[in-house]
Amino acid sequence: MKTIEDLQVAGQRVFVRADLNVPLSGGTITDDGRIRAVAPTIAKLVQAGAKVVVASHLGRPKGEPDPQFSLAPVAVRLGEILGVPVAFATDTVGESAKATVAALADGEVTLLENLRFNAGETAKDDAERGAFADELAALADLYVGDGFGAVHRKHASVYDLPARLPHAVGDLIAAEVGVLKRLTDEVARPYVVVLGGSKVSDKVGVIDNLLGKADRILIGGGMAYTFLAAQGHEVGISLLQKDQIPTVLEYLKRGEENGVEFVIPVDVAISGSFPDLKTKAPVEDFEIVDADSIPADKEGLDIGPKTQALFASKIADAATVFWNGPVGVFEHPAFAEGTKAVAAALLASDAFTVVGGGDSAAAVRILGFDETEFGHISTGGGASLEYLEGKTLPGLAALEG
């Protein structure tokens, strides 16, 4: 793949497909990690004298403008991080976009409104998607793909647009791919994978592929209760995917055959109801029980202290650690200890540590860890997982062309 250094960007309109899909609460950005991650690429283009046209999606609007998904707050924060004004176009390819881009001087930046306000961005129909890509291409001379969190999507700005303009990969995607190669090719061992999150079904592909690569797979989060149920344990009202039990049993068998150790929780933090994540009200019936002693009317919401210590011991001697998915409901203080313990174990190890984007990356920041102390924090949870599954990612394939 070509890099920015392979393009002559001075005086050119450079379309940067970023991933600025940040969480918002009442119009306020609650985690600006993805903005900060792409800022160096944009700054490099600014310094080289490009006219930078930044575009991204945010949330899941239904192909038409929706104020709650506007990128207007992102334009403000991006300008603060870059230290330069960022003009904001109130549409994607309409009069505002055309006028704002036309007004750019060398070294200036504009951000287009949410790409998904146009149905062509996510259209399944190739012609509809291509027509939108044509309109986007008219706004630029060159294309830089740097939205790693979207490269697993066959969307107009990710897949179709690079074919219409001279293109290169941005520094963020280059770094992400370099890290993922360290997790798939010539991996330093022991190789430990920590998987959390709510559903086994979300991780089926990556577990399947890692059974031939990882040395240990540590299972936490909501998905752990399907593993516990597969082992014959009562899981109460915990999150459970009964239809995935046969798959889990197959994975446990294959792990034993291939010398891959599955590490399942031995104790859990439970409650009779899901905690209030807005008020963070204390959980009156909070308790720790052994994983084989969950009452029928209780729900597992975090790994317990014995499991935290077990996980830490399995990470301690690792040379490579990949972590995707919090191991508890970290948004509530009563159930954040397990996720804190995993993060702390990664930092205490001498391993090359990768936090695989999404909720795991958010948890690291929200729980107060210094993200620079980890080997790498990915900006794309879904993209990272699909890469580790061995899938071809449309956005990367387009940039290779």
The predicted model gives 385-397 an average pLDDT of 92
**Alpha-carbon gap, residue 91 to 112, rounded angstroms:** 6
Instruction: Quote the CA–CA distance of 34 and 249 in Å, as a whole number.
Output: 37
Task: Report DSSP state, residue 7.
Answer: S
User: What pLDDT digit, counting tens, does each position of 185-231 carry?
Assistant: 889 999 999 999 988 888 888 999 999 899 999 999 999 999 999 99
CA 343 – CA 334 distance, rounded (Å) = 17
Per-residue model confidence as pLDDT tens digits over 256-266? 999 999 999 99
Question: Could you confirm whether 358 is annotated as catalytic?
Answer: yes
Active-site residue, from 120, 220, 381, 382: 382
pLDDT-derived band at 379 (thresholds 50, 70, 90) equals confident
Write down the catalytic residue from 13, 17, 34, 340.
Answer: 34
d(CA 192, CA 173) in angstroms, rounded, equals 24
- 382 flagged as catalytic: yes
HSE of 36 in the Cβ direction (CA atoms, 13 Å)? 10
Q: How is 71-90 classified by DSSP, letter by letter? A: SHHHHHHHHHHHTS-EEE-S
Of the residues 98, 182, 199, 254, which is catalytic?
199
Listed in sequence order, the DSSP H helices in 138-203 are 171-184
Q: Reply yes or no on whether the pLDDT at 330 is more than 90.
A: yes
Express as a percent the part of the chain with pLDDT over 70.
100
Specify the length of the chain in residues. Answer: 401
Instruction: Tell me how far apart the alpha carbons of residues 52 and 162 are, in angstroms, rounded to a whole number.
Output: 16
